[in-house]
Amino acid sequence: MTAARAGDPSPYLIPLSSDGSEVLSVDTGPDARGWAAYFSKTVTELDALVLLRIVPEAVLEGRLTGPGDRTDLALEVREVRISTGQRAAGFASSLLREIPILRIEAAINQGAHRRHLSRHAIGTSTTAADLPGGSRFRRPPSKSPTPDRRSLAIADPGGYRKPDEFYQQVADLYLHLAAVSARPAHELAAANNVPVATVHRWIREAKVRRILLLPAHRGGADRSEPSRRTST
């Protein structure tokens, strides 16, 4: 892996699995341009380097022209660079399947992560760039982070028109689960003893209110789960 300079700032680590075996390591500091490295057991075993460039969605729509405050904009992956290591016989398509783009986008759009990245790690360029800035983020972390243990219970105030606070709970827990699970809506439904279709409806409303932010081309409900028509 790339050697680090002594003055490089530490990367910002985002866990992508409950046991810390998957992690997104994001470059931070004055020269950061939205680059992050993805690590998993397979990537590390192959000595591969998987880099992703994260950009605010509005940059690509021409609505963002200066640094400004981008904390209310969804973040998305716009570029992936992969280098195979010396232990690999060559590039294999299976390595591409190792990169969980949907889970990564869920993770970086969790409120606290999105705000931190928007302020400290994201550039405004829409063009492909070299890899400026620090290099610590390109090495596996010595100690991988794990997600906080959180209760999945949602306090439902009842009624048809629910307040924003309710949908903030839904958004936070959905993105928390979507970062580490392929079936976040299903898990959230099971934890709250409601049909999956109900959670899908909550998610849609959270997106309409712009409380749950994800790139527009990403659906708000699980892509891995078929929508079930269930009465509520």
Q: Is 112 contained in some domain?
A: yes
Compute the distance between CA of residue 106 and CA of residue 129 in angstroms, rounded to an integer.
Answer: 24
Contacts of 131 (CB under 8 A, 6+ apart): 35, 51, 138
Query: Is 140 part of a structural domain of the chain?
Result: no
Query: In sequence order, what are the beta bridge partners of 80?
Result: 52
Question: Is residue 230 in a domain?
Answer: yes
Please list the alpha-helical segments (H only) found in the chain.
41-45, 57-60, 93-97, 101-108, 111-120, 164-178, 184-192, 196-208
For residue 49, give its domain range: 12-127
107 falls within a domain:
yes
**Same domain assignment for residues 209 and 179:** yes
* Burial class of residue 4, CB neighbours in 10 A (0-12, 13-18, 19+): middle
Kindly state whether residue 135 falls inside one of the protein's structural domains: no
Round to whole Å and give the CA distance between 177 and 182: 8
Statement: the pTM of the whole predicted model exceeds 0.75: no
Give the number of domains in the chain.
2
Give how far Cα 142 sits from Cα of 20, 139, 205, Å.
11, 9, 40
Q: CA 228, CA 170: separation in Å to the nearest integer?
A: 19
- Same domain flag for 17 and 123: yes
Q: Examine the domain organization and report whether 113 and 20 are in the same domain.
A: yes
Are 54 and 153 in the same domain?
no
pLDDT tens series, the chain, 232 aa: 344 455 667 899 999 999 889 999 999 877 788 899 999 998 888 888 899 999 898 655 555 545 555 667 899 998 898 888 776 666 767 778 889 999 999 999 999 999 999 888 876 554 555 555 566 777 888 888 888 888 999 999 988 899 999 999 999 999 999 999 989 999 999 999 999 999 999 999 999 999 999 887 665 445 444 333 333 3
Q: What are the CA-CA distances from residue 12 to residues 155, 209, 214 (Å)? A: 31, 29, 20
Q: What angle do CA 221, 178, 120 make, to 5 degrees?
A: 115
Q: What angle do CA 215, 75, 117 make, to 5 degrees?
A: 165
Residues 85 and 178 in one domain: no
